[in-house]
Structure 1
């Protein structure tokens, strides 16, 4: 005959183990049926169009010029989108198979796999770089004024890329980062 040395059954989970907001004996208020139907009636009324909002036939005939003007204003001018895509001044970009860092006029963007974070220059307290003594690993750490830091490590294809990346990042920091801000 076998004997068990532990408890004969596994005790059930208490409410706090599954829900951190659980307090035994306290339950939340339940909505009454009258309040639920009143809310659904208000939602139905908001969906129905008002007759005052319907355009008149005269407005529809004369409104085409205004609509064309709005469409023309919505279309960006030539060079407007390109100016945002290609910022003036130096740009630093380094990436490997998982990590990526981009520093330009907008700020610093760090990416690792599908996670990313963006820092504007006024949100940055310091930027620190380090390289492995023997390896090809380049580490960039962004420090914020509220004493948080965000490191990212990039594997360089060759050891010579690390010194090249440090000089490019220094040029970007000299151009955009204001230590007195």
Structure 2
């Protein structure tokens, strides 16, 4: 008979064996199948086979009616278009540095770090927490959701005096919109 000496260690379950077990971590997207990709119609005329007659040229050149409407050309203009003012002219909190940006307004809270963005409506937010360090200039804003997840974002301030201004502006927004969302939840049957 064979016996083991030492503790009996059960096999590892969950994150140690399968990274997809950890909530919030998603795997890579599967590649798009060929059927989902747009295909050219079979009767389309290629550039090589097109002749120089005007009827063929008219078919190839898109007209002004067929051209899609172009939106703002600059990313900054698109950001300004997204951050539309509140319908009632309510308070808006906005803070940013070279990498991160946070906007809190009537629609909710938007966090952006480099090319990643997260948007939360007021009914999706459980709490908003801020932290100002004793030393340094990194202001931390954390959005907590009811399902026990949190999303922190650090913003580097130009000076430490910005912290008080940011906290006061954020308090105005939270008082105006976060309270309204809580009251709407309580009144709903």
**TM-score of the aligned structures, taking structure 1 as reference length:** 0.53
**Is 2:84 the counterpart of 1:96?**
no
Q: State the superposition RMSD in angstroms.
A: 2.8
Measure the CA separation in 2 of the matches of 1:86 and 1:144.
Answer: 25
- The structure whose residues are more often helix, as a share, is 1
Which residues in structure 2 correspond to 1:128-147 (within 5 Å)?
A: 128-147=129-148
Instruction: Give the Cα–Cα distance (whole angstroms) in 1 for the partners of residues 165 and 84 of structure 2.
Output: 24
Tell me the residue number matched to 2:122.
Answer: 121
Runs of 4+ more than 6 Å apart: none
TM-score (norm 2): 0.51
Partner of 2:110: 109
User: Per-residue CA shift, 1:95-119, capped at 9, x if unaligned?
Assistant: 0000000000000000000000000
* Corresponding residue SS for 1:177: helix
Aligned length: 106
Find the aligned partners of 1:147 and 1:86 in 2 and give their Cα distance. Answer: 30
Partner of 1:166: 167
Structure 1 residue runs of 5 or longer lacking an equivalent are 1-19, 21-39, 41-46, 48-81
CA distance in 1: counterparts of 2:113 and 2:128, whole angstroms: 18
Partner of 1:155 in structure 2? 156
Which runs of 5 or more structure 2 residues have no equivalent in the other structure? 1-19, 21-34, 36-41, 43-80
Structure of greater Rg? 1
